[in-house]
Amino acid sequence: MAIGDAIHILDHILQSPVALAVWRRAAPAGIAMLDLDSVDDLSFTLDPNDDAIAPLLDAGYPTDTARALRDDIAMLALAHRRLTGARTIAVRLDVIETDACHRFHADYVTLRMLSTYCGAATQWCRTATPDTIGQLGTGDVGVFKGRIAMAEPTILHRSPPVRATGEQRLLLVLDPA
């Protein structure tokens, strides 16, 4: 694992023993107060020439929030491209109110980038010590090595259980497309 307060900590995921790189940061301003019941889930691809503002506005995000999200998604997509070499990035922005992905797992991708803008963030564990659960903070950016990059994963992740609490989460997922 590599954890730090600057975006460049994410580069450590390219080192062979590192299965999780975490950039500790606050969520972009203005997103925490968003009414998650008023927006739709999003799934789209983003290439370097695209501007993500139209899908965000179409999904019901207020203009100021859409701009903040667009800027953050563009910056994170650029970081993901740098790490993976992928020109096109698959973007998902989901409002989660169930116990989605409740089991610890590794995805079938090279690198998955996750950031929770609102609510409880992604949990993780080492395969060697599965009863010791760590958790990203809201706003943190985590890059997890998937099964394509690491056939035998050493770190697994899951969505935190929120169904019984009534809590909602706003989760950004970036994968190479």
User: CATH 3.30.479: does it fit domain 2-176?
Assistant: no
| Mean of pLDDT over the chain | 93
In this prediction, residue 19 has a pLDDT band, given cuts at 50, 70 and 90, of very high
For 128, phi and psi rounded to 5 degrees? Answer: -75, -25
In this prediction, residue 20 has a pLDDT band, given cuts at 50, 70 and 90, of very high
Helix (H, G, I), strand (E, B) or coil at 38: helix
Q: Which residues have C-beta within 8 Å of that of residue 135, sequence separation ≥ 6?
A: 120, 121, 122, 123, 124, 160
Residue with more model confidence, 98 or 25: 25
In this prediction, residue 99 has a pLDDT band, given cuts at 50, 70 and 90, of confident
Range from 64-68, 82-86, 109-113 carrying the lowest mean pLDDT: 64-68
- d(C-alpha 111, C-alpha 131), whole Å: 24
In angstroms, how far is CA 145 from the centroid of its own chain? 13
Instruction: With a cut of 80, say whether residue 148 has pLDDT above it.
Output: yes
3-state percent helix, strand, coil for the chain, nearest multiple of 5 = 25, 30, 45
Mean pLDDT along residues 101-106? 86
- d(C-alpha 83, C-alpha 61), whole Å: 29
Single pTM value for the model = 0.94
Task: Take residue 10 and report the two structure tokens written for it.
Answer: 């994410």
- d(C-alpha 21, C-alpha 112), whole Å: 11
